[in-house]
Amino acid sequence: MDRKSTLSIAALMVTAFAVGIDFTGAMLLVPAIELSFDADITSTQWVLNIYALFFAMTMVTGGRLGDMYGHRPVLMIGLMIFLLASVLCLVAPDLITLIGARALQGIGSGLIWPCTLAFGATRIAKPEEQGLVMGLILSGVTIGNVIGPLLSGVAVTLGDWRYFFVANVVLAILSMVTIRTLMPREETHKSGQHLDLVGVAVLAIAVLLLLYSLDVGADLGWASTPIVVMIAVSFVLVLLFPTIERHVKEPLIIPQMLRNREFMITLSLNALQVPALFIALLYFPQYMQKTLGWSAMASAFGLVPMTALLCAGSIISGRLYNDFGPKRLLLSGYVMSALGAVLVVLLPESLGYFQILPGMLLIGIGSTLSVGPAGTAAMSAVKPERAGLVGGLSFMVHLVYGAIAVAFATALMYAASLARLAQQLAADKIDMSNADQHAINGGALATDQAKAAVSHFDTAQVTQIRDALATAFNSGMDMAFVFACLSALVGLVLSAMLNEKKLQSSNT
């Protein structure tokens, strides 16, 4: 690899790092945001889900824009949006404003990420180097995944979760400088392209309705009219999507791709791993803080075994891709992720941190062996000029399914933990109203609502309530990982069905 290519990859790795710290870092901020805005996890999960949704829904458009106008200028525009959104996150006066700023951050990231991948795959890498280059770019984002929680821990330790977004601002500026300085201009672009904004809007509305129904379902009742209507409209939009796409000049998924069995399998494999990884990144820090009583900084270090494996594994899986092929890597990755999720559920609560450590390690290894190879395999199944489209599409599927999985897992977790909390309080002969149980469920008695709910109990009873909350949280987390395991098992079946020879020769 020549010096020019090496410098270009370095520029892309800096940009990937900026995106990487934002994702995992924000997950560790959830308890601090709950406390700051006196909210519960069903509300604060939107800080994560709205980012993932808008990130996902912008990516296909971002990939197409990069193919049409050049990946370098679209990257710069995305970084400018990301910079503005980071400033808004930094000064957000309430949860609604923060959620809106996170949506804008998702749009910026959605322009950045597919162009980063496409530039690396088509403008820098030779065919035999594609796995290595993709691995290096992914290592940039996974190094960010490692550093992000540590930055969050530092911010919370310093007294304000908002300080985390200062790092976003600095890195956005640094990324703009490195892209402008080190990344070469493209001389040719693909002409005659059109954006499928209607398709993106239909999918975005469908997913947003589903996410919102999962958020408020426990409060309004799953059989209530608003929930039933929202879920029904969501499914109708999904069912109408293929019909709408037939009337679009350039649909999100080109018809030949839909008929390409290997491409559709690899596209699915970009998603089915995500629940184990996202649920781990969301709930392990909360488990350490709410159940084990660790500080934000301590829980950031507690997450390092998994994030470090994600970082190292991205480079290793890139090198292994050509030697072992995607099928063996994907099979191994999905086996490890499913086993990791099972261990989280089966190991006893009395082990404390060691209840989650084996699962953390296995999910970390499993993710590195499946996420990168699935994305590379999806892009290898299409023509090079469609790399931007497929780069955006594969991560759109990755993040949309991830957002739905987190929302569904949170709904499961909330219901399971609430039931276990009621059971434990009854066993301890503590009389607490249903409204107060809802107020404290999933928390650590730190918010104003939770403090009000336990204000009339004596010290011994508050201790019992705190212990009941820890037990309830653990039960809810177990249910979330049951769902993660089932998703990984479906991925394992699809990995076994993948035909590598057809994958390499399809090129639609």
pLDDT at 117: 76
Tell me the residue ranges of DSSP E strands in 142-296: none
Q: Is the pLDDT of residue 5 over 80?
A: no
pLDDT of residue 392: 66
Amino acid at the residue 501: K
**For residue 390, pLDDT beyond 80:** no
Distances (CA, A) of 163 to 52, 60, 86, 339: 21, 31, 11, 37
> What pLDDT does residue 226 have?
87
**Sign, CA torsion 390/394/400/404:** positive
Mean pLDDT, range 355-367, rounded to an integer:
93
Could you tell me the CA-to-CA distances from 362 to 135, 283, 367, 447 in Å, in that order? Answer: 19, 16, 8, 34
- The first and second tokens of residue 296, run together, are 């934000």
Q: Supply the angle between the helices 3-28 and 164-182 in degrees, to the nearest 10.
A: 170
Q: How far apart are CA 27 and CA 148, in angstroms?
A: 9
Summarize the confidence of residues 86-95 as an average pLDDT.
Answer: 93
Residue 254 corresponds to which tokens in the numbers above? 């080109």
Residue 57 binned pLDDT confidence (cut-offs 50, 70, 90):
confident
State how far the Cα of 341 lies from the Cα of 89, in Å rounded to an integer: 33
pLDDT at 131: 62
Assess contact for 245 and 269: CB atoms under 8 A: no
CB atoms near residue 256 (< 10 Å): 13
Cβ atoms of 75 and 116 within 8 Å: the answer is yes
Report the C-alpha gap between 303 and 474 in whole angstroms: 17
Domains in the chain: ranges and CATH:
3-185+250-418+473-506 (1.20.1250.20), 196-249 (no CATH)
Which pLDDT belongs to residue 6? 75
Q: What are phi and psi of 296, to 5 degrees?
A: -60, -40
Q: Give Rg (Cα) of the chain.
A: 22
State the amino acid at position 80 in one-letter form. M
Mean pLDDT value across residues 107-124: 78
Q: Identify the weakest region by mean pLDDT among 66-75, 100-109, 356-365.
A: 66-75
pLDDT tens column, 301-319: 998 898 888 777 766 766 6
Instruction: Look up residue 287 and give its DSSP letter.
Output: I
Structure tokens at 275: 């629940």
Report the distance separating Cα 422 and Cα 439, nearest Å.
12
Provide the whole-model pTM. 0.80
Contact 12, 137 (CB under 8 A): yes
Digit-coded pLDDT (tens) for 222-268:
788 888 999 999 889 888 887 787 777 777 667 677 677 888 888 88
Residue 138 clears pLDDT 80, i.e. is over it? no
